[in-house]
Amino acid sequence: MNRIISKSQIQPELNDRRGAALVEFAIIAPVFMFLILGMVEMGNALEATTQLSAALREAGRLASMDWSEIVPEGESPNEKVIRDIRNFLKAGGYPGDDITITLTSADGNDVGQTFDLANPANERRLFKLEATIPFEQVSTFPHGLMNGRNINARIVMRAGRISLMN
């Protein structure tokens, strides 16, 4: 009862299966590539958001401490904070000049107005640092899917003159 199957009888089935695999790959490959490229883009956006948040945290820390000794002559504390944010991001490989940075009040009736760190009346008041970078500056790929979108980060801190030395 054992039949011997010749190679010629098996060969047509293998050829039919190869064609099916090619069609399946042609359908799945673009979807797979789209998912991979999307993950790379979202990874870039997440990394940029993390860097923006870190830059704002460090700048907010500077704004909340006794900056009288570290702000150069002829420069306001606001200018120093914004310059430090840009330098922090440039060091991380981001175009610091393309980033929009605002320092506004987050306290009382002045919410949204420019916050002056040098003004003694603003001591112990809340301020908001916000940075925005266009997604095109972060994207790896030159496509229009996310053009016009921005990556934002913001932090609210209290102004003060905290000094570690008395």
- Say yes or no to pLDDT of 83 above 80: yes
- Say yes or no to pLDDT of 143 above 80: no
Higher pLDDT, 52 or 112: 52
SS (H, E, C) the chain: CCCCCCHHHHHHHHHHHHHHHHHHHHHHHHHHHHHHHHHHHHHHHHHHHHHHHHHHHHHHHHHCECCCCCCCCCCCHHHHHHHHHHHHHHHCCCCHHHCEEEEEECCHHHCCCECCCCCHHHCCCEEEEEEEEEHHHCCCCCCCCCCCCEEEEEEEEECCCECCCC
Question: Where is mean pLDDT largest: 18-22, 62-66, 98-102, 161-165?
Answer: 98-102
Average per-residue pLDDT for the chain: 83
Mean local confidence (pLDDT), 72-91 = 90
Mean local confidence (pLDDT), 138-149 = 75
pLDDT confidence tier of residue 107, bands split at 50, 70 and 90: confident
